[in-house]
Amino acid sequence: MARVVLVTGVSRDLGSRFARLLAADPAVDRVLGVDVVPPRHDLGGAEFVRVDLRSPVVSRVLAREEVDTVAHLNVISTPQHAGGRATMKEINVIGTMQLLAACQRLPSVRKVVVKSSTTVYGASPDDPAMFTEDMEPRSSPQSGFAKDAVEVEGYVRGFARRRPDVAVTTLRFANVIGSRVRTPMTRYFTMPVVPTVLGFDARLQFTHEDDLLEALRHATVSQAPGTFNIAGDGILMLSQAIRRMGRPAAPVPAFAVATFGQAFRAARLADFTPEQLSYLTYGRGVDTTRMREELGFKPTYTTAEAFETFASAHEPGLMSDERIRNAEDGIAAFLGVRDASEGVPQRHG
């Protein structure tokens, strides 16, 4: 169905990989990748067009190339990538508005796929355990990427209302993780000592980077309008994830967290935005029934497996699996005990 696909945000890692993946798909004839700066990575069979989404130029590109499908990946989650929070907001919100305005004018556009995030649900103690796509956030995100994502989705809904003939698919991804991606989350987990909020343990969900690309590809080449949560099966507790990274956690009392967050940001160690802090405090879970049943997509990696690929790509920290096993063996040997029933296979090194 999709023949000419326009992909936004291709100068970044996931965008370029997606453009490459799509160009190799036999169901797609042409892939046009657009971004403000030329891609650092090879785009494969995709063509690059240098366009600032915030300018009306994008509508001319759409018309000239007779684009029928738009995959909007240019919603940025990290201010550093964009060059400051103000620019990031402009790219995310104004960029989306311009792109959708152009799509609305163009009859050739038949399908729009938008990469969104589960941060639109916010994170609060009043949350249900698992959000389905129809649930409203109990506390709407007030700042940062999450607020941008909420606004972007608002414009996408408006567009879908005005162009009912266009199949609009919004994919809400849980935190992407894997051996290659770099996000605030991956930086957080690779700190030598990982700060947490004292007395709270968040439930986390992850999407593996390959699953993210495959879900976007699936949505681009198939016909499944609607909003879908995308996440690997199961959850990990924050404490559990830190332990699987072999790192010690440093719990910080909630009242001191804001100060710590600023200090970390100033030191460029990690980027704790308020919505990230509430996520790391209260956690969030999303229901993925609709993803499996209506979108027809099944992730290859569970949350735990996705995290595992990330953990094994990094050096374990002070509390590595190996050290803990050795300590256990040491103590057991000292006391002359060994539990014969503990025949569990070694999980990872």
Partner 1 sequence: MADSSEAKVIPIRGHHAGANAGSSEVPDAGAAHSIPDTLRDTAGALAKGIASRFLGDDWQGKVAAGLAFTRRRLTGDYQVDDLGFDPDLTENVLMALLRPLYQSWFRVEVRGIENIPEVGGALIVANHSGTLPLDGLMTHLAVHDTHPNRRHVRMLGADLVFRMPFISELARKGGTTLACNEDAERLLTSGELVAVFPEGYKGLGKPFSERYKLQRFGRGGFVAAALRTGVPIVPCSIVGAEEAYPLLGNVEPLARLLGVPYLPITPTLPWLGPLGLIPLPSKWIIAFGEPVSTEAYDSDAAEDPMLVFDLTDQVRETIQHTLYALLLDRPDAF
Residues in contact with partner 1 by the rule CB under 8 A: 125-130, 132, 135, 197-201, 203, 234-237, 239-244, 246, 253-254, 282-283, 285, 319, 321, 324-325, 328-340, 342, 344, 347
CB of 137 to partner 1, least distance (A): 13
**Burial classification of residue 75, based on how many CB atoms lie within 10 Å of its CB (0-12 exposed, 13-18 middle, 19 or more buried):** buried
- List of E strands, the chain: 4-8, 30-35, 47-50, 69-72, 111-117, 167-173, 175-177, 194-197, 203-204, 206-208, 226-230, 236-237, 249-252
Give 61 or 277: the residue with its C-beta nearer to partner 1.
Answer: 277
Give 132 or 143: the residue with its C-beta nearer to partner 1.
Answer: 132
CB of 289 to partner 1, least distance (A): 10
Find out whether 143 and 275 touch, Cβ atoms under 8 Å: yes
CB of 76 to partner 1, least distance (A): 29
Q: How far apart are CA 167 and CA 92, in angstroms?
A: 21
Phi, psi angles (nearest 5°) of residue 71: -110, 110
CB of 234 to partner 1, least distance (A): 7
HEC sequence for 178-195: CCCCCCHHHHHHCCCCEE
Find out whether 311 and 247 touch, Cβ atoms under 8 Å: no
Find out whether 250 and 197 touch, Cβ atoms under 8 Å: no
Give 127 or 151: the residue with its C-beta nearer to partner 1.
Answer: 127
Give 60 or 325: the residue with its C-beta nearer to partner 1.
Answer: 325
Q: How far apart are CA 51 and CA 58, in angstroms?
A: 6
Q: How far apart are CA 192 and CA 3, in angstroms?
A: 47
**Two tokens, residue 171:** 């994919």
CB of 278 to partner 1, least distance (A): 12
Query: Torsion-angle region of residue 228: left (phi > 0), alpha (psi -120 to 50) or beta?
Result: beta
Helix locations, 46-200, DSSP H? 57-64, 79-82, 85-89, 95-105, 144-162, 184-189
CB of 285 to partner 1, least distance (A): 6
Give 84 or 248: the residue with its C-beta nearer to partner 1.
Answer: 248
Give 101 or 191: the residue with its C-beta nearer to partner 1.
Answer: 191
CB of 205 to partner 1, least distance (A): 9
CB of 175 to partner 1, least distance (A): 16
